[in-house]
Amino acid sequence: MRRLKSLLSLASLALISGCLDQNPTETRNDGNGPFPVIANWTATMAPIGTNTAQGTLAVKQQLSEHNDVTFTITGPPNASYQWRIFRGDCQMTTAAANVQSPGLWVFATVQSYPDMVLNAQGTATVTRTIVGLLDSLTAYSIRIRASQSSTAFNGTSPLACGTLTRGPA
């Protein structure tokens, strides 16, 4: 009886291995390409008060919460700025207590936003990939402030601001 079970096991194994030889493993690499763009967001950032810095933001929102961001700023030569995309338009001036409450709330993490240092001509451009869902029913703004500040950037009292507008892909 043991011999019969062993022979059946060997025959099953031979049958399975024969099938594997005829159907090799398929390798797919089509997932490595870019995700399709589902929306384009843009903003023109205007100075507030006596500040002279201004800029433009372009976001290619891709499927799967993937955003390719290009931010260009002009202002005084060698100036340094912090920048963030916030939930809330430029008219909003209060910080949110938590993500569910109304008010300004930073989009993504602060690590997504490196400081911008303008060159001797007073310009700088940064390109980033930021993960997160830009909701078409929510207002967003791009805001800057001087980099030397030691407090967390909550979006209030910016030097310049621009409200994002959503366009088709």
Mean pLDDT over 135-142 rounds to 96
The DSSP code for 13 is: H
- DSSP track, 1-66: -HHHHHHHHHHHHHHHHHHHHHSPPP---GGGSPPPEEEEEEEEEEE-TT---EEEEEEEEETTTE
**DSSP letter at 34?**
P
pLDDT tens digits for range 75-131: 999 999 999 999 999 999 999 998 889 999 999 999 999 999 999 999 999 999 999
Written as one string, the DSSP assignment of 66-83 is EEEEEEEEE-STT-EEEE
pLDDT of residue 148: 80
141 with 89: CB under 8 angstroms? yes
Segment 8-54, tens digit of pLDDT: 666 665 555 555 556 555 555 555 567 899 999 999 999 999 999 99
CATH code, 31-167: 2.60.40.200
* pLDDT the model gives residue 59: 98
At 162, is the pLDDT very low, low, confident or very high (cuts 50, 70, 90)?
very high
Q: What is the pLDDT of residue 149?
A: 73
- CA dist 89 and 46 (Å) reads 13
**What are the extents of the domains in the chain?**
31-167
